[in-house]
Copies of this chain bind each other. A is one copy, B any other.
Amino acid sequence: MTEPRRKPPTMKDVAAHAQVSLSTVSYVLNDSGPVAPERRQRVLDAVRVLNYMPNESARKLKRRSPFTIGMIVPDLTNQFFAMVTEGVQKAASARDVLVVLVAPAAAEQPEEKQAQLLRRQRVDGVVYLSGTGSLPAAIHEIARSGPIVLVDEKIPGTGLPAIVAESRKGARAVAAHVLEQGHRNVAVIGGPMALWTARQRLAGYREAFAGAGLDPDAVPVIAGDYQQESGQRIAAELLAADPRPTALICANDLLAIGAMEHCREVGLRVPEDVSIVGFDDLPLSRLLTPRLTSVSQPAREMGYRAAQALFELLDAGEVGPVADLPTTVNLRDSVCPPQEST
């Protein structure tokens, strides 16, 4: 069944077969030196017949230029993260660089171990996709292994490059939409305030509130952890108020889904009794009933840009300021004007 598996051919084999020196082979393989067309062809042929593949380990041992990057993602099961990851992979594979993926949630390993893993691999840089957790601790340990670019997160103090979407603007827009429908008694389910996105979104909501003549400080806000379960819990808390809020503005889709679940449980209709909006626009959100109104971020694009920024940082040592990516609000069925109660 399993063949004896002989060891793969090396450059030396190629050189021998093509009757040239080792260095010549290397030169043609990466265009790094002059070689006569006739000989070049000889080695190309040899490569073909031997089915030669360069040994990346050996290469990496010598090279300087970036050929593998690390990526840290909190949770692959979250579609948003998955899409960002795809974006990164795409950008990387276009440049033939390898990305080593660290998914801590899956491995339940402490962040310290992740950092070690990355350093052992001598990754040239890392893309850090910020998640539900706190990061400051890990970030600096990781920064030892190379340049970092953040995705979907910004850390104010440090000047770390970050690729983010216009969270604030999108948040303002979606909140404004809710208010335009006539809602005055609204509440917010926020994200973890340690995260930039959570703070930005909240700020955006408050801008919209102020713009509509509401007192932002009067609007109840409870922060969750961006997970469905906490959305469910917080919705229960918020909807217990009297008078009951007619709209719940959620800082991400998972929270919104949790809120919808809670409504389903207690028999509140969405949107007739409670309007709900989310953020992220996960693919699954449009499958819900009612289909969730949400703000979409260009997840793949963010991943792609992040990788590009990292390459730029690696090549040039500096990365030009990147514009925040646009968000768009997708109006669907989970919002309607508040119904006259009784």
Chain A residues near B (Cβ < 8 Å): 1-2, 5, 8, 51, 53-58, 60-61, 76-77, 79, 82-83, 85-87, 89-90, 93-94, 98-101, 103, 105-109, 113, 116-117, 119-122, 144, 146-147, 159, 257, 260-261, 264, 283-284, 287-289, 317
B100/A100 in contact, CB under 8 A: yes
Please indicate the chain B residues that have their CB under 8 angstroms from the CB of A101 in the complex. Answer: 89, 99, 101
**This protein's copies in its complex:** 2
Given A55-B122, A85-B106, A94-B107, 11 more contacts at CB 8 Å? Answer: A2-B317, A55-B61, A56-B120, A77-B82, A85-B103, A86-B103, A93-B107, A100-B100, A260-B287, A284-B287, A289-B289
Please indicate the chain B residues that have their CB under 8 angstroms from the CB of A257 in the complex. Answer: 287
- Smallest CB gap from A60: residue in B: B57
Please indicate the chain B residues that have their CB under 8 angstroms from the CB of A54 in the complex. Answer: 120
Give the top 10 A-B pairs by smallest Cβ distance, nearest first: A289-B289, A86-B106, A93-B107, A57-B60, A284-B284, A76-B82, A89-B106, A53-B119, A57-B57, A56-B120
Please indicate the chain B residues that have their CB under 8 angstroms from the CB of A83 in the complex. Answer: 76-77
A56 in complex: contacting residue of B98, B122, B317, CB < 8 Å: B122
B107/A2 in contact, CB under 8 A: no
Please indicate the chain B residues that have their CB under 8 angstroms from the CB of A106 in the complex. Answer: 85-87, 89-90, 93
A105 in complex: contacting residue of B53, B86, B144, B260, CB < 8 Å: B86
B287/A120 in contact, CB under 8 A: no
B288/A57 in contact, CB under 8 A: no
Please indicate the chain B residues that have their CB under 8 angstroms from the CB of A60 in the complex. Answer: 57
A264–chain B nearest beta-carbon distance, Å: 8
A2/B53 in contact, CB under 8 A: no
Give CA–CA (A89, B105) in the complex, Å: 10
Give CA–CA (A109, B95) in the complex, Å: 12
